[in-house]
Amino acid sequence: MDAQEWKEVFSFICSVEFWRMGVLWTLSLIYSYFQLFRQTLFSAKSKSKPYSPRCSPSSIATRRPICIVTGATSGLGAAAACALSREGYYVVLVGRSLDLLSKIASDIKEQSGDACVKAFQVDLSSFKSIWNFKREFQQWLSDMNMHCSVQLLINNAGILATRSRVTTEGCDKIMATNYVGAFCLTKILLPLLQNSPIPSRVVNVTSFTHRSVSSMKINKETISGKCFSGSRIYPFAHVYEYSKLCLLLFSYELHRQVKLVEQSSQVSVIAVDPGTVKTNIMREFPKCISQLAFFTLRLLGLLQSSEEGVCSILDAALAPPEISGVYFFGGNGRTLKSSPLSYNSKLAKDLWEASSDLFIELQLASGHTT
Ligand SMILES: NC(=O)c1ccc[n+]([C@@H]2O[C@H](COP(=O)([O-])OP(=O)(O)OC[C@H]3O[C@@H](n4cnc5c(N)ncnc54)[C@H](OP(=O)(O)O)[C@@H]3O)[C@@H](O)[C@H]2O)c1
């Protein structure tokens, strides 16, 4: 390492964000496992089963169901796309890099000759790009003579940027990718999920870090992240936690909304937390810091590979259709209670309203109104 790199590492270690992640995130993770342990102990005594068995799509569909995976070019998204293809899904890969998308697509095809996979280049931090994806996707369905519906949407794309960046549409990059993009994509694809002849599902990939948020303000400034990117020191760890709590609140609210409109709604919504997984999520950290984090987590027995970490995502994706509005954690089909704040239905409603307003604003600004 040269002097510049040492300086970078030193200032990273001296930052509030480093200690926030080191202390609060570790405590949040340990608390989640402790809760899981208590739950397992309690259920062993009461002999109740706190887990959902997996349900293969081939048992309910007569043709290949369609599954859209965002952030499919790396880590958990790539692992989920491979695994869901093995489960019999027609996998639609969504990612930013065409090269990486082609690589994952050919990996999936290599794995099984009859795998069905299609890739779309989409930047989830851009409303315009998401809207174009919807148009291209519908065109593709029509060209392929396929039913105009989606059976599974996995909102997995996420970033942990260490520097403040503002998107062309004026949002903070972390909020735009981790929350606003997922909200807009789901809202745009909801008619296709509702049009499915078999039960369909939205799976939102959130994180235990949401537990570190003790109070939250919801308005357009916070959810677009404008108030964070404007601050003198960019609170990236807090923005990440906040984005994951928003995704969780959104999951529970969407679950309530779809059930409210139609009691026997075919669309279910599940939030999932993979725990700590060795992926590229810390790509913007100084290399020695991410290696130290992985080393410590491995020492504590808390680090999983992508193939292990993807189990919770598969549990959520393949849970029976009646399972909805829950939070999967820890693999083996187990669910957990998320933080008390995430169950605040008033906050969830405020978030829904503010996100819908932002959606309309982004839609008007992009010139796409139909
Ligand atoms: N790893 C963990 O320990 C952990 C724990 C809890 C939750 N999670 C969550 O799991 C999800 C997957 O993360 P990961 O750990 O697999 O990290 P990763 O290896 O960095 O993968 C993130 C994926 O998201 C994509 N992405 C980022 N920004 C995007 C954008 N604007 N548009 C489209 N795609 C974009 C990336 O694409 P590029 O390759 O183009 O950048 C990449 O494919 C994230 O939501 C993360 O927050 C991870």
Report CA(109)–ligand 1 centroid distance (Å): 22
Per-residue pLDDT at 370 = 63
Q: Whose CA is nearest to atom 47 of ligand 1?
A: 158
Check whether 59 has a pLDDT greater than 80.
no
Q: Which residues are 351's β-sheet partners? A: none
Is there a contact between 341 and 214 (Cβ–Cβ < 8 Å)? yes
Atom of ligand 1 nearest to the CA of 177: 31
Check whether 61 has a pLDDT greater than 90.
no
Per-residue pLDDT at 263 = 63
Per-residue pLDDT at 5 = 85
Q: 21, 70, 76, 251: which to mutate for ligand 1, most atoms within 8 A of CB? A: 76
Phi, psi of 320 (to 5 degrees): -55, 150
Q: Whose CA is nearest to atom 17 of ligand 1?
A: 281
**Range of lowest pLDDT (27-31, 261-265, 363-367):** 261-265
Region 228-248: mean pLDDT is 93
Q: Whose CA is nearest to atom 8 of ligand 1?
A: 207
Check whether 67 has a pLDDT greater than 70.
yes
What pLDDT band is residue 1 in, cutting at 50, 70 and 90? Answer: confident
Taken in order 123, 126, 127, 128, the sign of the CA dihedral is negative
Percent of the chain with pLDDT over 90: 84
The CA-to-CA distance between both ends of the chain, in Å, stands at: 53
Is there a contact between 106 and 73 (Cβ–Cβ < 8 Å)? no
Residue (of 311, 318, 268, 270) closest to 57 by Cα position:
318
Report CA(228)–ligand 1 centroid distance (Å): 20
82-115 residue pLDDT tens? 999 999 999 999 999 999 999 999 999 998 889 9
Per-residue pLDDT at 175 = 98
Report CA(263)–ligand 1 centroid distance (Å): 34
Residue (of 279, 254, 313, 24) closest to 159 by Cα position:
279
Q: State the CATH architecture for 156-366.
A: 3-Layer(aba) Sandwich (3.40)
Atom of ligand 1 nearest to the CA of 206: 7
Region 139-168: mean pLDDT is 96
Is there a contact between 329 and 312 (Cβ–Cβ < 8 Å)? yes
Q: 175, 273, 279, 296: which to mutate for ligand 1, most atoms within 8 A of CB? A: 279
What pLDDT band is residue 48 in, cutting at 50, 70 and 90? Answer: low
Atom of ligand 1 nearest to the CA of 176: 31
Mark 61-97 as b/e (b = at least 16 C-beta within 10 Å).
beebbbbbbbbbbbbbbbbbbbbbbebbbbbbbbbbe
Per-residue pLDDT at 40 = 85
Region 260-265: mean pLDDT is 70
281-288 LR contacts (CB < 8 Å, sep 24+): 281/75, 281/158, 281/159, 281/160, 282/160, 284/160, 284/161, 284/162, 284/163, 285/12, 285/162, 286/5, 286/8, 286/9, 286/12, 288/1, 288/9
Q: Whose CA is nearest to atom 46 of ligand 1?
A: 158
Provide residues with CB under 6 Å of ligand 1. 71, 73-77, 95-97, 100, 122-125, 156-159, 177, 205, 207, 273-274, 276-277, 279-281
Per-residue pLDDT at 231 = 77
Check whether 47 has a pLDDT greater than 60.
no
Report CA(5)–ligand 1 centroid distance (Å): 25
DSSP for residue 145 = T
Q: Scanning the structure block, which residue is given the tokens 């954690």?
A: 329
Is there a contact between 186 and 202 (Cβ–Cβ < 8 Å)? yes
Taken in order 173, 248, 278, 314, the sign of the CA dihedral is negative
**Range of lowest pLDDT (86-90, 149-153, 206-210, 264-268):** 264-268
311-328 residue pLDDT tens? 999 999 999 999 999 999
Q: Calculate the average pLDDT of the chain.
A: 93
Per-residue pLDDT at 264 = 63
Structure token pair of residue 252: 């529970």
Check whether 180 has a pLDDT greater than 70.
yes
Region 206-232: mean pLDDT is 92
